[in-house]
Amino acid sequence: MSVEIVSREERIFRNRTEAGRILAEHLAELAGPDALVLAIPRGGVVVGGVIAEELGCDLDVVIVRKLGAPSNPELAIGSLMEGAEKPYLNESIIRSLGVSRRYIEEETERQRKEAQRRAAAYRGDRPRAEIRDRVVIIADDGIATGATMISSIQGTKTQDPGRLIVALPVGPPENVDQIAMMVDDLVCLSTPAFFAAVGQFYEDFSQTTDEEVIKTLQRFSAARKQK
């Protein structure tokens, strides 16, 4: 296992494109010719698309839906990956908030339907990329609680990748360290001690639309057909 934390200090990126280019430089020696970038929508697709383009890799999305807390939908109590039977649950947060099992079941079902909807919208009639025995790079524009990334890792592992790498521009040090223990390699550009939200480390953190995700995936699909 190799872990590369480029800096423990705060680093501000101009945008997701810049973050993707810097990550690609650090991933060049880890990614082989048959590598696959799995990007977490939506913002992660911009980062992942740049990585895939720079390294000449295939690109697909990994659909993971956050399970939001009852009183705060932005706070993740867990997450669910597309096609997974069970969600990843952050039991410590669930206990501290007193979230009921009934709510968890209902929220899981809501997010399962949304994951299916997004998968159909993003890929159209294209099948999911083959993962078995490949070098797989899971990319996002950053992590906060890490729940979405953890669910992505767990779901991807069930499909037997040859080597599993996580690529992140930024994340809290304790959560990045936790994720590093779950994969073969990790590259993170910045793990600042003070961390409120991913957006604080970008000059431009404008929302990525579904249309941008679809266009990026279509572009890579067309490039594969031309090979």
Q: How confident is residue 224, by pLDDT bands cut at 50, 70 and 90?
A: low
pLDDT of residue 137: 98
pLDDT of residue 227: 56
- Work out whether strand 88-89 and strand 2-5 pair parallel, antiparallel, or are unpaired: unpaired
Q: If you average pLDDT over every residue of the chain, what do you get?
A: 93
pLDDT at 165 over 90: yes
pLDDT of residue 226: 52
pLDDT at 147 over 70: yes
For the record, the structure tokens of 126 come out as 């294209």
- Domains, the chain: 2-63+129-226 (3.40.50.2020)
In the numeric block, the tokens 């992942």 are attached to 48
Could you give the strand order of the β-sheet that contains 185-190, starting from the edge strand earlier in sequence? 2-5, 185-190, 163-170, 135-139, 36-39, 58-61
pLDDT at 186 over 90: yes
**pLDDT tens digits, residue range 106-127?**
999 999 999 999 999 999 888 8
